[in-house]
Chain A
Amino acid sequence: MSVSAISPTRSPAIRWRTHIDRALVLLLILALWQAGSLWVGTYWLSSPWATTTRFVELVLNGELIRHSGYTLAEAGAGTLIGGFPAVLLPFLLRRHPIIVAILDPFMVGGYGAPKLAFAPLFLLWFGIGMESKIALTASVVFFIVYFATLAGVRALDPRLVQMAQIAGASERQIARHIVMPSAVPNIFAGFRIAVPYAIGAAVIAELISSNRGLGYLVQTGAMNFDTTSVFAAIVAATLLVHAANALMNAFEALLMRWRPPLQSMMET
């Protein structure tokens, strides 16, 4: 349950009021934005209207779609390349806690170290093309998903394993029927956090140095003193992050029908 959803315990009248309140706030934000733009000039602060028209224009001529595609591709490839070993490793090491313990400080270090700080290093190694962004996003995703999967595998209820053993299941069957489904919620939570992060990381790497992607659009816009394009690109990037979030939420709802309803406090 997202925090923005209105609690179902509120009466219909109050819900209506909240919807109206929110609409009013939106109008207020837009009005302030427009007023600000008029005051300092479109060069400094592109107006809502100009941003929207430019956005539509860039969508229609395909440029925004193309560059969004690059950014998404970078994030997507990075998610796969980083996510796959991150999920696999805890499963393979499930029965070797010593190896997990040996790896632990390195993994914690990798998780705590700001991967974005490595961006110049990746750019040095892989150049300004998509590869460097993929490498960066892969490293971001890997550590997040590794710890999430590890938590999932560790949280396994040993009694369920015993129950399966008594029923005659082999190690393989236990891994498939008990360990895997038990860990899926955690794995999923890991990806839910990692994917929007990956998109953000791709954009940042593009900002530093790139020849394609939404970050690139922002930079070129700024270099041409074209604030409107800059805003349009930022809006596009924001929409992308939110879309990724919404998609992950939808996936989760689909996969987790068997879960007892959890009171989730906050969605990031």
Chain B
Amino acid sequence: MTDIALESTAETNLRWRKWAIHGGRLALAIALILGWEYGARTLGRLFFAPPLDVLERIVTLARSGQMFTDIAATMRVSAAGFAIAAFCGVLLPFLLRRSLRATEAVEPYIMASMGIPKYALAPWLILWFGIGDLPKLVVVTLVVFYILYITTFAGIRGVDQRLISMARVIGASERVIAREIIWTSLLPFFFTGLKIAFPRAVSATIVGEFLVSTEGVGRSIEHARQISDTTGVFAGVVIAIALVLAINGIVNLIERFALRWRPVERDMEI
């Protein structure tokens, strides 16, 4: 086999594959949308709102400003819940870190409480606080708290013990150790945790709004369902997903910006 023959076979193979993959994805996406349209025609508008109707509704919602009011309401609660949860979820491991005894004593209960379905608390919280932001806020805070708590703890535990021992020998105080070594080692994990937690906060808020229907994206979806407004449900779900994906994207961008200096790992595409 000659040199050039060897090279070009490998090269054409790779190019063909790339085309096949992109083409296949496009074809699949088109097929899904066509299937959606077909489903709307055969199964009836009650079950499957036609894509064009949904699009129209989304535009209407945007025009009337309803969509933005909803999003604002949802984001308000998500951001607040996330902030509180981040504070507690990050602080607690650091506090517990000081005393191994306290950690071991308290840990099983934290793990046990994690099994409580947080959304199930919503009806009881409504009893206390009425229908409003507060029940949703509590639920979202709880959901995000556990995520960050575990991530932070894992990060702390993953810190190189030898660095800590070394610092102790030098005579650094616990505070300095926490700040200098643990916090710095923790930062990558921390960002990953935040990256996961914030979109989760948004989706948790939306689900919370299903249960505590006052305002927000979730509330619109649930309301539409209750009056059998299928188009409304579809439109709402599309908006909800777009929102979560957008948040995801924004957080990713922020991360990339903040960690510009890091060598980027190039993923091998098939």
Binding site for B on A (CB under 8 A): 2-4, 6, 17-18, 21-22, 24-26, 29, 44, 97-103, 105-106, 109, 112-114, 116-121, 123-125, 196, 200, 203-204, 207-208, 214-215, 218-219, 221-223, 225, 227, 230-231, 233-234, 237-239, 241-242, 245, 265-268
Contacts and interface: CB of A to CB of B under 8 A. Distances in A.
B108 A4 contact: yes
A18 B233 contact: no
A222 B127 contact: yes
Contact of B240 (A117, A200, A219): A117
Interface stretch (B117-125, B169-177, B180-188, B256-264): B117-125
21 contacts: A4-B111, A18-B104, A25-B105, A25-B109, A44-B128, A98-B17, A98-B270, A112-B248, A113-B241, A114-B244, A119-B207, A120-B222, A120-B237, A124-B230, A196-B115, A207-B122, A221-B123, A222-B123, A230-B124, A231-B124, A242-B115
Given A101-B21, A242-B112, A117 B206 contact: yes
B106 interface: yes
B126 interface: yes
Contact of A124 (B108, B117, B233, B241): B233
Nearest to B199: A112
A101 B19 CA distance: 11
B107 interface: yes
B165 interface: no
A3 B107 contact: yes
Given A114-B244, A117-B203, A98 B124 contact: no
B140 interface: no
Contact of B117 (A101, A123, A203): A203
Contacts of B25: 102, 105-106
Contact of A238 (B47, B107, B116, B158): B116
B109 A234 contact: no
A266 B158 CA distance: 11
B126 A98 contact: no
B236 to A, nearest CB: 8
Contacts of A267: 111
B154 interface: yes
Give chain B's interface secondary structure class.
helix
Given A6-B104, A21-B101, A265-B154, A99 B120 contact: no
B20 interface: yes
Nearest to A221: B123
A238 B113 CA distance: 8
Contacts of A238: 112, 115-117
Contacts of A241: 115, 117
B127 A225 contact: yes
What interface size band does chain B fall in?
A: 35 or more
B120 A98 contact: no
A225 B123 CA distance: 10
Given A99-B24, A266-B154, A21 B225 contact: no
Nearest to B245: A112
Nearest to A239: B115
B115 A21 contact: no
Interface in B197-211: 199, 203, 206-207, 210-211
B240 A17 contact: no
Contacts of A100: 270
Nearest to A24: B105
B47 A124 contact: yes
Contacts of A266: 150, 153-154
The CB with the most chain B CB atoms within 10 A, among A2, A4, A44, A214, is that of A4
Given A125-B47, A200-B119, 17 more contacts: A22-B108, A44-B127, A102-B20, A113-B245, A114-B206, A116-B207, A117-B206, A117-B241, A118-B237, A119-B207, A119-B210, A123-B225, A204-B119, A208-B222, A237-B117, A238-B117, A265-B158
B123 A207 contact: yes
A118 B270 CA distance: 32
B87 to A, nearest CB: 21
A221 B127 CA distance: 11
B218 A117 contact: yes
B228 interface: yes
